[in-house]
């Protein structure tokens, strides 16, 4: 066994022990090692989807694994068939042309971003900031639930600015990577160099600020960097899952600073827009998919990252299988094969996505039909597919009184038996999404 393969086998075993088995099999099993030395690792993915996803989701975990096994912190590159490099994480000090693009994902651009009512203000603001170095919106703060496009917009800003301004110093970094790099700088007595690298930036793109929670040293360093860049009128763009005032265990001075510019929220895309996102992805890779499959995927999750993740599973399957990608095949691919039964969170998630309502409204006291009907459907489905008592199900949907849940169950059952088409069609479609 070659030394390179031996090291990668150990890294793989380490990653396997830290990740769910299904995640490891999907994302890491297909990888191959092209180059492996103390300073540089090049991994080959089967396609662009997998390469970009690993860079976006698992880069930090891969670096930690190399540090644990080899005691080195190499730069990680991913390539795929038919391409030079994708999702490139450039080593510190390395540049392309005259400017360093650090950790930008080149596939996340404004052209590949699907804009609509749920994100049009954030999109137009981001594009304005990317085009104008003297934009007054500083900092620009984007927040949303996970998986709705925050990271995409950050990278789009960076990629646009880097492509149009060859002298612009750009850096994209996540909160986890920032903390990891800072820890390394402290241990290696290179904090001054760490600060100097950030202090020279023209555009600072900081992802997932909420992950700085309880990380006091990281918050202190971020505040120092923020103040220096802001004073020098350098653009700062930040993302998080909450508006600044709702961030927990974050220094009040830091919350005050990031509240001082433009703030925008990304909302959940409707079903039509989710289908458009899937179509755009498929068009980029010249892949055809049946409309019923697209409809199923779009209604399976409102989370864009989950949409893309499921699409990757399906396209990977299609690339190695001669059989057609049918609805039954798609269900087997996207459902968790290690999960043996449906639970209330599964049902709530599907119900909320199907009816396009926030999950919190499924447990509220709001009596509008737009909320009560999905709630009643949820209770009916829960009674049918879980072993919970009606009292437990009622509480899960916000009903304190057992009789209210019983009424909801009986109402849906009565309408179904009477042949009410809306109810029958809704139950059938929701059950198809769950099973």
Per-residue pLDDT, 88? 38
Per-residue pLDDT, 1? 41
In CATH terms, 271-334 corresponds, of 1.10.3470, 1.10.8, 1.10.10, 2.60.40, to: 1.10.8
Per-residue pLDDT, 99? 34
Query: For the chain, how big is the Rg over CA atoms in Å?
Result: 24
Per-residue pLDDT, 100? 38
Compute the mean pLDDT over every residue in the chain, rounded to the nearest whole number: 81
Domain chopping of the chain, boundaries = 1-89, 94-268, 271-334, 344-434
Residues 6 or more apart from 143 whose CB is under 8 A from it? 150, 239, 240, 241, 242, 243, 263, 264, 265, 266
The contacts found for 318-324 with CB under 8 angstroms, 24 or more apart, are: 318/287, 319/46, 319/47
pLDDT digits (tens, 9 = 90+) for 117-167: 889 999 999 999 999 877 788 999 999 887 788 999 999 999 899 888 878
Q: Measured between alpha carbons, how far apart are the two ends of the chain, in Å?
A: 44
User: In terms of CATH architecture, what is 1-89?
Assistant: 2-Layer Sandwich (3.30)
Topology given in CATH for the domain delimited by 344-434 = Chromosomal Replication Initiator Protein Dnaa; Chain: A; (1.10.1750)
Measuring CA to CA, how many Å separate 160 from each of 96, 167, 186, 203? 15, 13, 33, 11
In CATH terms, 94-268 corresponds, of 3.30.450.20, 3.40.50.300, 3.30.230.10, 3.40.1190.20, to: 3.40.50.300
Identify the segments of the chain with pLDDT beneath 70.
1-2, 48-49, 56, 80-103, 285, 318-324, 335-341, 435
> At residue 353, what are phi and psi to the nearest 5 degrees?
-70, -45
Measuring CA to CA, how many Å separate 261 from each of 102, 135, 137, 336? 24, 11, 5, 42
* Spatial distance between the Cα atoms of 199 and 191, rounded to a whole number of angstroms: 12
Residues 6 or more apart from 201 whose CB is under 8 A from it? 169, 170, 171, 229, 234
pLDDT digits (tens, 9 = 90+) for 263-297: 999 988 888 888 888 888 777 767 777 787 888 88
């Amino acid at each position: 066994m070659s030394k390179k393969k031996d090291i990668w086998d150990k890294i793989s075993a380490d990653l396997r022990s830290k990740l769910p088995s299904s995640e490891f099999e999907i994302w890491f099993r297909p990888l191959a090692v092209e180059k492996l030395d103390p300073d540089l690792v090049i991994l080959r993915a089967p396609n662009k989807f997998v390469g970009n996803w690993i860079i976006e989701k698992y880069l930090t975990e891969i670096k930690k694994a190399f540090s644990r096994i080899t005691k080195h912190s190499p730069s990680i590159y991913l390539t795929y068939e038919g391409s030079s490099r994708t999702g490139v994480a450039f080593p510190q000090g390395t540049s392309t042309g005259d400017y360093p693009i650090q950790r930008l994902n080149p596939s996340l651009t404004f052209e590949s971003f699907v804009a609509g009512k749920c994100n049009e203000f954030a999109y137009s603001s981001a594009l304005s900031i990317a085009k104008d170095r003297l934009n007054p919106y500083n900092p620009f703060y984007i927040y949303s639930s996970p998986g709705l496009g925050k990271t995409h917009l950050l990278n789009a800003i960076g990629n646009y600015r880097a492509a149009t301004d060859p002298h612009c110093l750009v850096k994209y970094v996540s909160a986890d990577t920032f903390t990891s790099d800072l820890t390394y700088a402290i241990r290696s007595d290179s904090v001054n160099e760490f600060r100097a690298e950030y202090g020279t930036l023209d555009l600072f793109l900081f992802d997932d600020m909420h992950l700085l929670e309880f990380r006091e040293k990281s918050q202190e360093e971020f505040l120092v960097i923020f103040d220096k860049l802001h004073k020098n009128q350098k653009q700062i763009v930040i993302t998080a899952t909450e508006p600044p005032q709702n961030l927990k265990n974050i220094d009040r001075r830091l919350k005050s600073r990031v509240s001082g510019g433009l703030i925008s929220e990304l909302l959940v895309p409707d079903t039509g827009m989710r289908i458009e996102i899937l179509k755009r992805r498929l068009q980029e890779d010249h892949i055809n998919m049946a409309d019923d499959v697209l409809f199923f995927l779009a209604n399976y999750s409102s989370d864009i990252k989950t949409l893309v993740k499921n699409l990757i599973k399906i396209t990977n399957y299609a690339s190695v299988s001669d059989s057609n990608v049918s609805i039954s095949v798609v269900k087997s691919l996207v459902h968790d094969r290690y999960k043996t039964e449906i639970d209330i969170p599964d049902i709530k998630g599907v119900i909320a996505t199907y009816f396009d309502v926030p999950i919190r409204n499924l447990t509220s006291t709001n009596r509008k039909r737009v909320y009560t009907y999905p709630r009643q459907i949820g209770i009916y489905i829960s009674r049918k597919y879980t072993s919970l008592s009606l009292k437990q199900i009622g509480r899960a949907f916000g009903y304190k009184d057992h009789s209210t849940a019983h009424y909801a169950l009986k109402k849906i059952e009565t309408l179904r038996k009477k042949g009410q088409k809306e109810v029958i069609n809704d139950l059938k479609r929701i059950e198809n999404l769950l099973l």
